[in-house]
Amino acid sequence: MPEFFNVLPPDEARDLLFGHLTAVLPSETIPTQQANGRVLATASTAPHALPQFRRSTMDGYAVRAADTFGASESLPAFLQVVGEVPMGQTAVVELGVGQAAIVHTGGMIPDSADAVVQIEHTQLVSNQSPVSSLQSPNFPFEIEVLRSVAVGQNVLQVGEDVRLGAEILPAGHILRPQDIGGLLALGIMSVEVVRHPRVGILATGDEVIAPEESAGPGQIRDINSYTVAGLVEQAGGLPVLGGIIPDNFGALETAAATLLAKTDMLVMSAGSSVSVRDMTVQVIDGLGQPGVLLHGVATRPGKPTIVGAINGKPVLGLPGNPVSAMVQFDMFGVPAIYRLQGVTKMPRRGLVWAQLSQNIASESGREDYVPARLEDGANGLVAVPVFGKSNLIYTLVNADGLIKVPLNKGGLLAGDWVEVRLF
């Protein structure tokens, strides 16, 4: 088999994969309170306006704005307070010319009022009996308004937050805590979300053993299954561990076919490097159509990654080296999981700017991802590269994120400001 016969840049490789994926997975209905992080299968619309009634944004007095025009500390407006709007109740107070009513933050505004004067901009008229608190006032009493208000000032109007029937969240939206609050504010107690994609994960290799086993000479513990599983969960998928398969074509073919049949995506780690023992390409091609889409991505680490699709399901062959496997799954597996849920725009990842502590060598025509540790510097954050071979997992354990060296760059220089993609 020719080495890396169809290497593509990462963006082109992702587009190629996405072009072979099927439509969004089936949906399920769950309680809104349990939907954080899930993806909406259908758009949500407002069953009523929010707010449903005019509300005060301040503690103070509901007034007719015209009665306060021109008011100042040297020439206050005098208003008679004729009642109060209790919290959680309908405003039944009617205001005439020169009258006001006590209102509280979030409380309803009388129909006859069009503004609220905050309590800090008022004071009691000095010639009346003192009122120490507005908790139990004696009506009527008189106040001085020391600052004028405009129509609508300190008032939330009906539908100012959300209009009746408006689309509040589109299909394909990843629900966040504030979205949960917004849905519940409208009384939406359940939502239709996309089912969690099930991702089958296989480790391969005669030398690979389970993490709980004692490693003998020439043996290594399987960690790729678990780092990939963690990335799957972060992206909203359900990892399905298929175990460790020896370097036997028949065993790998059977395990891959069995796991793919009951999942939405298949990932195999190791077996993607070019060697006489490489069976991953043949196995993927034997699973269905179209099979392997490309073998090789213009990146480091992880150049020998295999990208394929079987009957609309993504299939990845990851390098066995843990750094390569994790970086490549983040580049291809994570976006595929989101795409299966109907998310066409990847959620924003944590990015910070930092000043590079030392040069990073690279080759033009290849994207490099370099682990980096973040430290405090005189001018802000400093990115310190954590250099190490791609089979050393602690290059990632000791890092805070990845520095991306762009495709058309021959490297980065010490002192450059770079983006660090946080883990």
The one-letter amino acid code at 82 reads V
Using an 8 Å Cβ cutoff, are 72 and 147 in contact? yes
Name the amino acid, one letter, at 232.
V
Quick: pLDDT tens for 290-330. Answer: 999 999 899 998 888 999 999 999 999 999 889 999 999 99
The pLDDT of residue 132 is 44
Q: What is the pLDDT of residues 329-350, one digit of tens each?
A: 999 999 999 999 999 888 877 8
CA dihedral sign of residues 84, 88, 92, 96:
positive
DSSP state of 228: H
CA distance 231 to 324: 14
Q: Is there a cis peptide before residue 51, judged by omega within 30 degrees of 0?
A: yes
Structure tokens at 344: 């066409």
The DSSP call for residue 320 is: S
Per mean pLDDT, which range of 73-77, 116-120, 208-212, 265-269 is the poorest? 208-212
**Which amino acid type is present at position 4?**
F
Task: Output the DSSP codes for 325-391.
Answer: HHHHIIIIIHHHHHHHTT--SPPPPPEEEEEESS-EE--TTSEEEEEEEEEEETTEEEEEE----TT
Which pTM value belongs to this model? 0.83
Hey, what domains does the chain have and what are their CATH numbers?
10-26+196-340 (3.40.980.10), 27-51+172-194 (3.90.105.10), 55-156 (2.170.190.11), 351-422 (2.40.340.10)
Name the DSSP letter for residue 50.
B
User: Shortest CA distance to 172 belongs to which of 30, 313, 22, 338?
Assistant: 338
Q: How much of the chain, in percent, has pLDDT values that exceed 70?
A: 94
User: Interior CA angle at 300 toward 298 and 302, to 5°?
Assistant: 85
Question: Which residues have C-beta within 8 Å of that of residue 213, sequence separation ≥ 6?
Answer: 221
Q: How far is CA 113 from CA 83, 191, 221, in A?
A: 13, 38, 72
**Sole residue written with tokens 């070019």:** 274
Confidence at 395, pLDDT banded by 50, 70, 90: confident
pLDDT of amino acid 130: 46
Choose among 67, 153, 73, 91: nearest CA to 116: 153
pLDDT digits (tens, 9 = 90+) for 235-289: 999 999 999 999 889 999 999 999 999 999 999 997 555 553 478 999 999 999 9
Rounded-to-integer distance, Cα 149 and Cα 83, Å:
20
Q: What confidence tens digit (pLDDT) does each residue in 92-113 have?
A: 999 999 999 999 999 999 999 9
CA geometry: angle at 298 spanning 338 and 397, to 5°? 65
